[in-house]
Structure 1
Amino acid sequence: MEVRNRGHSTSASQVSSTEMKRNFSMSSFSTGIAAVKWTTLLILVLTAVYCIVQFLPPMHDKNSRPVNTRDAFSTLLGLHIPTFAVVLDAGSTGSRVLAFSFFKSRIDGSLQIKDELFYEIKPGLSSFADDPLKGASTIKELLNEADSFVPEGYRPLTPLILRATAGLRLLPAAKAERLLAEVRKVFYDSGYVVQPNAVDIMDGSDEGIFSWFTINFLSGKLGEGVEKTAVTLDLGGGSTQITFGLQEDNGDIPVENVHVVNGAKVPIKVFTNSYLGLGLMSARKAILDHHKTDETNFASPCIGTSAPTKWVFNSQELLVKRSRREQPDSFGTCHDLASSLVRSKVKVPLDLNDKTINAISYFYDRAVDAQLIDPKDGGVIKLENFEIAARKVCRVPHDEHPFLCLDLSFIVALLKSGYGLESSVDIHLFKRINGHETSWALGAAYQELMKP
């Protein structure tokens, strides 16, 4: 009996244990099924939300970047990767660092600009042709600014490039290379991603293409068809560029001026040309050469002050002043000299008068000096406004801006005699679009990040 009781008791315990295990297993299985269901449902909901917001339009804030509802959801879902790029612009009159942060899509690899840093120092790198170490130290100063923008953990993933423009193109090759060699040493110690061609002199056509890309990227024009894209005119110190989209029926255009730009839904063919020696400073010197009294002294009707004024060009100090004039209006003389210079170099194959014209760099700066646009917001003016301002400035002495008569006369000649634009054409002059600098550096950063 006792044995049976013990046996019976043992059997009951086993049954109870088995039932508990079975119930626990069923409960765990049910919980697992429920978890899978909820996880699947969550994934379906989030996927549906993402698909829906793809059709939501961007919400534009006047004083900041285009804010896109898709960005917020994509970041929340972990579908965007923080991405950075640092570009140094070694221009003829100053050196600048532009550091960019982007959203990079995990789905299609596309980039959406988020924020940027801009910092400039003067003079330009080419001014240190005889002191490469001092020139490299200015680049180090710019990189210190970039370090304040790019988090330390991202620097080993962030491309760093420097592109020198007309200032270094105009230097003797040996002097330019010594400068770049010292800059490369600074780059290799920076902690950023530095490719073999990270420090180089940029071809003029690339400068034009990158500026065109920046303008149309920030304006949201790249996905709207080539006919909607804007013409970009970039006036630097040593060179000037013109770039515009081409349709298939554009006729016989020199093949060396035709390039394909990626970054839109479909590749876009563009015409670009860079005119070395037609930057504002180079053109100024060429026009003044008609009125030099010796190698370093100039007396020109295009100068706004009779007091000798120092001007440094290509590291050489020059003295300029206004000459005595028989006629009170010197615009005609200055414009004729500028037009002759422009016609000897510029030829544009198409009529651009029905296109949107965006003019940047010194076009913008001189429009500000002539009080044609707001210094902060920019604006849209007629080409004839440049000419009216030039005639006004050239009639009277102008001590505050002694070169303004000459510079505006050249700008009018370039736009009319060079690019064939009519007086009634609108010129869009903006230093920033949707909160971002209208610099070729953004186009260069984008192309660098999109390399396979």
Structure 2
Amino acid sequence: MATAGLRLLDAAVAEAVLESCRVLLRGSGFQFQDDWATVISGMLHNGRAEEGMYAWIAANYALGTLGDDSKDTTGIIELGGASVQVTFVTDKPLPPEFSHTLKFGDVTYNLYSHSFLHLGQNVAYESLHEMLSSPGLKSMATHLLSQAKYRDPCTPRGFSPMEGAVKLPASVLESKVEYRPYAHAVGNFSECRSAARTLLQKGREECIYHECRMGAAFVPDLDGKFLATENFYHTSKFFGLRSKSFLSDLMLAGEKFCHGDWSKIKKEYRSFNDGELLLFCFSSAYILALLHDTLKVPLDDKRIDVVNQIGGMPVDWALGAFVVHKASNLTDMLRPEGVVSPEDDIRHGERPVHHNQGEAMSLARRRWDLVEFLRWGASDRVCKFS
């Protein structure tokens, strides 16, 4: 299964990559069917965020709260490389395209779920530099090779990027001209955070709801506890932060890192290459802009745990997909409103799932399923894209 990284590619290119995986897996000796090599969509046919739903299932499966009506579930905020997933249970009224019903045994969950493509950390990093270097291009591009510097607050002072050319679209220039913008690293956490906030609000003028927090998408108030995974975790680990004081500590750590001298940073973090180190000023500012400035999570909020595993189980969409796949021969789990028959589920590409009698799975059962998950995923790892 592939996610947002492959969704960003041209359809023909993505299909060629998937076909190469199919060829490899057919001869691997593992159980495999061609339709298992596919791109899971950010949105299903009825607007359901498939990737976010899988991540939510994985989190609550690992926590032992799935299928137990007496236990509160935990929401998931996943910061991937190309997209952000937000999924949680809410009793607030939602626009239909963001409202999803999930049934597990005797328990029905009303979920908000959405996948925000292009807002994952790596794609956002590239988009931010395009945004910073683009103002006033028409007035600057007056020579065959026009050069200028732009302020880059998301890179520590002292970093000197390699020269590179950026081809401008025809709508910007009267003739084919190359414009070479050079980033002038100024290392300013507040400015970087402000730029990230602007990026997260891009497209907000197209909002058709009473409130849009991220672009033109509706996001309600975050209810309950949450797990922040993927790049939230990697950034937290880099700065050595404790989970429960994540945001307030991250702001201090990000400010110190962004305002540092690049040569000293490289000496302190010798095990990291330049490409990895360059991301951490941006990622710290981006996470603050995303969680605090955009989703309104207080800096001292204790409801968010930053993790990538629970009890040795990976908390990501792949485990959630396995849980669904594991029980795909039973009754329905992921049922959109209006679907009333197994035939409809199959026609829309659903994998109906049920857990016996609505009881939460025991830890021993979940551990055994983890072993099977690792065996199931052994062949998948060679062709897993995110």
Separation (CA, whole Å) in 2 of partners of 1:363 and 1:402? 16
CA deviation after TM superposition for structure 1 residue 223, in Å: 3.4
The answer to whether 1:410 aligns with 2:251 is: no
Separation (CA, whole Å) in 2 of partners of 1:382 and 1:236? 18
Q: Report the counterpart of residue 273 of structure 1 in structure 2.
A: 114
**For 2:74, which of 226, 230, 244 is the aligned residue?**
230
For the 8 Å contact 1:210–1:441, the answer to whether it is kept is: yes
Separation (CA, whole Å) in 2 of partners of 1:227 and 1:424? 25
CA deviation after TM superposition for structure 1 residue 298, in Å: 7.2
CA deviation after TM superposition for structure 1 residue 307, in Å: 3.2
Alignment of 1:236-385 (within 5 A): 236-247=80-91, 250-251=92-93, 253-292=94-133, 300-309=152-161, 323=184, 325=186, 330-344=188-202, 346=214, 347-352=217-222, 355-373=224-242, 379-385=243-249
For the 8 Å contact 2:246–2:306, the answer to whether it is kept is: no
CA deviation after TM superposition for structure 1 residue 224, in Å: 3.8
For the 8 Å contact 2:151–2:184, the answer to whether it is kept is: yes
For the 8 Å contact 2:79–2:120, the answer to whether it is kept is: yes
Q: Report the counterpart of residue 388 of structure 1 in structure 2.
A: 252
CA deviation after TM superposition for structure 1 residue 382, in Å: 4.0
The 3 A distance-change label for structure 1 pair 200 and 310 is farther
What is the TM-score of this pair, normalised by structure 1?
Answer: 0.55
**For 2:311, which of 419, 431, 434 is the aligned residue?**
434
Separation (CA, whole Å) in 2 of partners of 1:307 and 1:330? 13
The 3 A distance-change label for structure 1 pair 310 and 275 is farther
Secondary structure of 1:271's aligned partner: strand
Separation (CA, whole Å) in 2 of partners of 1:320 and 1:363? 30
For the 8 Å contact 2:56–2:76, the answer to whether it is kept is: yes
For the 8 Å contact 1:303–1:406, the answer to whether it is kept is: yes
Q: Report the counterpart of residue 109 of structure 1 in structure 2.
A: none
Q: Which has the larger radius of gyration?
A: 1
Separation (CA, whole Å) in 1 of partners of 2:98 and 2:300? 28
For the 8 Å contact 1:259–1:270, the answer to whether it is kept is: yes
The 3 A distance-change label for structure 1 pair 258 and 289 is same
* CA RMSD of superposed structures (Å): 2.9
Amino acid at match of 2:291: L
Separation (CA, whole Å) in 2 of partners of 1:362 and 1:264? 32
CA deviation after TM superposition for structure 1 residue 430, in Å: 1.5
The 3 A distance-change label for structure 1 pair 176 and 349 is closer
For the 8 Å contact 2:90–2:111, the answer to whether it is kept is: yes
The 3 A distance-change label for structure 1 pair 413 and 181 is same
Comparing 273-282 with 396-405, greater Cα deviation is found at: 396-405
Amino acid at match of 2:220: L
Q: Report the counterpart of residue 13 of structure 2 in structure 1.
A: 175
Q: Report the counterpart of residue 323 of structure 2 in structure 1.
A: 446
CA deviation after TM superposition for structure 1 residue 186, in Å: 1.6
CA deviation after TM superposition for structure 1 residue 255, in Å: 1.6
The 3 A distance-change label for structure 1 pair 284 and 166 is same
Q: Report the counterpart of residue 172 of structure 2 in structure 1.
A: none
CA deviation after TM superposition for structure 1 residue 242, in Å: 0.4
Separation (CA, whole Å) in 2 of partners of 1:189 and 1:431? 32
Separation (CA, whole Å) in 1 of partners of 2:185 and 2:310? 44
Secondary structure of 1:410's aligned partner: helix
CA deviation after TM superposition for structure 1 residue 265, in Å: 4.0
Report 1 or 2 for greater relative contact order, CA contacts < 8 Å, sequence distance ≥ 6.
2
Secondary structure of 1:380's aligned partner: helix
Instruction: Give the count of matched residue pairs.
Output: 272
Amino acid at match of 2:238: D
Secondary structure of 2:65's aligned partner: coil
Separation (CA, whole Å) in 2 of partners of 1:275 and 1:432? 23
Amino acid at match of 1:304: P
Alignment of 1:154-165 (within 5 A): 163-165=1-3
**Deviation digits for residues 351-391 of structure 1, max 9, x if unmatched?**
22x52121000000001112214xxxxx3324222222222
Secondary structure of 2:32's aligned partner: coil
